[in-house]
Amino acid sequence: MTTDDSHHDDASPDEDRRQSGGEWRESDTRAVDEPVLPDGGTEAEGADEATLDPWGSSTIADYRKLFEQFGIEAFDEVLPEVPNPHYLMRRGVIFGHRDYRPVAEAMRNDDPFAALSGFMPTGDPHIGHKLVFDEIIWHQQQGGDAFALIADLEAHSARGLSWDEIDEHATNYILSLLALGFDPDEGTLYRQSDNREVQDLAFELGAEANFSELQAIYDFDGETDVSHMQSVVTQMADILYPQLDGPKPTVIPVGPDQDPHMRLARDLAARMRYFGVTEAFASFEADAVERTLLRQAYDAREEYAEEPDRPRCGEAADWLRDHQPAPADARESVVAKLDEAGKEPLRPRTRFLDRNATAEAFEALIETIDGEKRVYDEHIDTFDLDHAEAEELARQVELDNGGYGFQPPSSIYHRFMTGLTGGKMSSSIPASHISLLDDPEDGYDKVKSATTGGRSTAEEQREKGGKADECPVYELYAYLLSGDDDEFAKEVYDECVGGERLCGGCKEQAAELMAEFLEDHQEKREEWADKLDELDIDLDSDRAPTSAD
């Protein structure tokens, strides 16, 4: 049971709150000890297991499960490669990524890159949304092309909001984004419903997806309306939109519940490519597991080949039969292919696969490849190009022949903010969050009324220390109130767990800082409100009301 200790200078019990919070740790990749959040922890009350639902409201019980189940990588591993990392990265609030290294490399080399995220205007923007705002703005400040979109088609189709409601919320999101530092002169703002390029791209992407796939990813069924399904491919088009003027590393900052969108977008980006590039060892096709076995057989050629410089496929098949490497099913299939190839040499090569290429593009690729090559009906093998060189060549031929040349979009994942009342912060529970539109006094009162990770009494807190790891108020310091000041965030944490800081005083300080933030933020919103007409985005929809309204 949580208690409200806003009128007492002591700690408060929080026995029911089980969301993991923050801890201090040392790392040789950081200049100082920063407040970071553990990868795991016990689940929040009402949390699902690691189920990712872009339209649901579940929290993530254990972030480490995302690494194992969905292939999300720990952000700590790429952090040393990021120049001037944002404090959300340093503190572990941004905890995971998919393929962020190309973005970090582009930053280091001053090469083009982009960042995009969308906002579904279903309510007021709150401090949880500020995480995404900050991530987009930071990437813009690092030299990236920044894109922020209003997902109004999704809000209308998936949530049933009227266009008048969407317009009001969209304006509020845009004002807060601008007030926090987004530069509209250097970035792009748009609405899905007004962007014809996005809609045209969505049409093309839709040809590469089918209902069975969407059903498997999103659990759609016979009751799912077509507009909802259409909103999915529109989001895919949003994610790839920054690359319409040329392929570039592109990062999408999102919460982990949006990862299904990222996996589908990466798949569709690959399917839209004219050519795939892979490793091969003979004229026949082989999947990734089979290629691993072929590599093993090739590397062992000194053991079995009559001419080790020219091992034969049949010889490799005999070696695989004798040594029985796992997995058995892949071994059996690749042995059959090797037997059929017989005396053909087993020889590493780089393969260009024809995925969607026009006849003209395929011929152009053949002509462009220098050196030794073998041309087949649906692929070309080259013996003088490594994988990276082949990828670059394939993309250039594609672009020269009218293709997109998409690079797989990257993503970074931030933790959900804990609600001020425990559990997930939710727009539908006013007491759980602080709206960026809240009156500063209301923001002050909400923080003062927040549950904490404190002990039952002040004496126990002084003796045992507070549980900052389980405290929504400490999260406010780590996620927002400390800003870029790691030392201040560390001080709050150390004083709490050391028993020097009691919840009453801690919440008073946090409440005052929150009120100051809201006052400053809303002053900047008012300044931008007078300049909205200058922006290249229409915030008043002319769409006619429908039955959904």
* Phi then psi dihedrals of residue 491, to 5 deg: -60, -45
* 3-state SS assignment for residue 441: helix
Shortest CA distance to 180 belongs to which of 208, 140, 215, 150?
140
Identify the structural domains of the chain with CATH numbers, from first to last.
62-273 (3.40.50.620), 276-403 (no CATH), 440-528 (1.10.240.10)
Q: Is the pTM of this model over 0.75?
A: yes
- State both tokens at 431: 């007491």
Who contacts 28 (Cβ-Cβ below 8 Å, separation ≥6)? none
Who contacts 442 (Cβ-Cβ below 8 Å, separation ≥6)? none
Q: Which residue has the tokens 């070696």?
A: 319
CA distance 89 to 416: 14
DSSP per residue, 389-416: HHHHHHHHHHHHTT---PPPPEEEEEPP
CA distances, 75 to each of 67, 314, 324 (Å): 11, 45, 38
pLDDT in 10s for each residue of the chain, 549 residues: 322 333 333 333 333 322 333 333 333 333 333 333 322 232 333 333 433 343 343 344 566 777 777 788 999 999 999 999 999 999 989 999 999 999 999 999 999 999 999 998 888 999 989 999 999 999 999 999 999 999 998 888 878 888 898 999 999 999 999 999 999 999 999 999 999 999 999 999 999 999 999 899 888 888 888 888 888 999 999 999 999 999 999 999 998 888 999 999 999 999 999 999 999 999 999 999 999 999 999 999 999 999 999 999 999 999 999 999 999 999 999 999 999 999 999 999 999 999 999 999 999 999 999 999 999 999 999 999 999 999 999 999 999 999 999 999 999 999 888 888 877 777 667 778 899 999 999 999 999 999 888 888 888 889 998 888 888 999 999 999 999 999 999 999 999 989 999 999 999 999 999 999 999 999 999 999 999 989 988 888 777 565 444
CA distance 119 to 274: 32
- State both tokens at 251: 């990062």
H or E stretch at 119: strand 114-119
Under 8 Å between Cβ of 281 and 349: yes
- Give helix 196-206 / helix 226-240 axis angle, nearest 10°: 110
**Residue 546 has what pLDDT?**
54
**Residue 120 has what pLDDT?**
87
**Residue 545 has what pLDDT?**
60
Who contacts 256 (Cβ-Cβ below 8 Å, separation ≥6)? 52, 60, 63, 66, 72, 96, 413, 416
Using the 8-state DSSP alphabet, how is residue 77 labeled? G
Phi-psi region of 143 (alpha: psi -120 to 50; beta: other; left: phi over 0): left
CA distance 433 to 451: 12
As separate numbers, helices (DSSP H) first and strands (DSSP E) second, the chain gives 21, 13
CA distance 17 to 451: 9
Q: Over 190-231, what HEC string results?
A: EEHHHCHHHHHHHHHHHCCCCHHHHHHHHCCCCCCCHHHHHH
Using the 8-state DSSP alphabet, how is residue 95 labeled? E
Using the 8-state DSSP alphabet, how is residue 477 labeled? I
Q: Do the bridges between strand 114-119 and strand 250-254 make them parallel or antiparallel, or are there none, so unpaired? A: parallel
**Residue 9 has what pLDDT?**
34
Beta bridge partners of 435: 126
CA distance 89 to 76: 8
* 3-state SS assignment for residue 26: coil
Shortest CA distance to 471 belongs to which of 505, 446, 496, 436?
496
**Residue 330 has what pLDDT?**
97
CA 468 to centroid of chain Cα atoms: 27
Under 8 Å between Cβ of 75 and 94: yes
Handedness of CA 191, 195, 199, 204 (dihedral sign): negative
Shortest CA distance to 174 belongs to which of 131, 241, 122, 119?
119
For 268-318, where are the E strands, in sequence order?
Answer: 275-280
**Residue 544 has what pLDDT?**
54
**Residue 372 has what pLDDT?**
96
Exposed, middle or buried, 130 (CB in 10 Å: 0-12/13-18/19+)?
buried
Shortest CA distance to 133 belongs to which of 167, 86, 64?
86
Shortest CA distance to 411 belongs to which of 86, 63, 183, 103?
103
CA distance 484 to 480: 9
CA distance 289 to 460: 57
Beta-carbon-side half-sphere exposure of residue 548 (alpha carbons within 13 Å)? 19
Cβ of 67: how many Cβ atoms within 10 Å?
16
